[in-house]
A = this chain, B = another copy of it.
């Protein structure tokens, strides 16, 4: 308790280097990051990185695992909550998720980039806490889908749709901003709008008759 507060207010050198590494790795990815960049960003010397973390790779792995856990933890709990309706769950989930992404806009591209370049290497180290099929939201969706007209839709589509609508704009943000000329502030306003719009859209998708 005391120790944790100390870290908050008065971070140790180790913490400061880790924070610097987190920023640089997240922005540029593993391969494009030099330990010198991290040293510079942290305000300390290059040698200290190896003193505390032994190697670039070990430091990176640590950050990666933490990122994945942040990401997963922020979501899994809600996906499995048995007391909220599907609609409420979706609403909360999306609001929460977008808030997190506005604060950490580089996170999705970072995770997808690094996972695609070494698939399975780190994913296995992280506790996902639940298999995909066991998620309570999937059960809820299946129940809902059973009442609908037309052929059934694989719940994977629904998960993909929800995540795609929320996450993709953040991944495409540099290209989007370049093409449309909108500023970062305008982009964030759009993301705020989406907190309200996406749940409506998801509902519309769920109710859409498949011809």
A residues adjacent to B (C-beta < 8 A): 28-32, 106, 109, 111-113, 115-117, 119-120, 123, 128, 132-133, 153-154, 156-157, 160-161, 163-165, 167-169, 171-172, 174-176, 178-182, 190, 193-194, 196-197, 200-201, 203-205, 207-211
Contact = CB atoms under 8 A, between A and B. Distances in A.
A157 B197 contact: yes
B205 A201 contact: yes
Contact of A178 (B31, B109, B120, B176): B120
A100 to B, nearest CB: 17
Nearest to A130: B179
Contact of A201 (B120, B193, B208): B208
Nearest to A211: B200
Contacts of A106: 116
Contacts of A200: 208-211
A171 B111 CA distance: 11
A160 B180 CA distance: 12
Contacts of A123: 175, 178
A207 B210 contact: no
A207 B181 CA distance: 28
A161 B201 contact: yes
Contacts of A178: 115, 119-120, 123
A207 to B, nearest CB: 7
B172 A163 contact: yes
A192 B25 CA distance: 36
Contacts of A179: 128, 132
Nearest to A206: B204
Nearest to A30: B32
Contacts of A208: 200-201, 203-204
Contacts of A205: 201, 204-205
Contacts of A163: 168, 172
Contacts of A204: 201, 204-205, 207-208
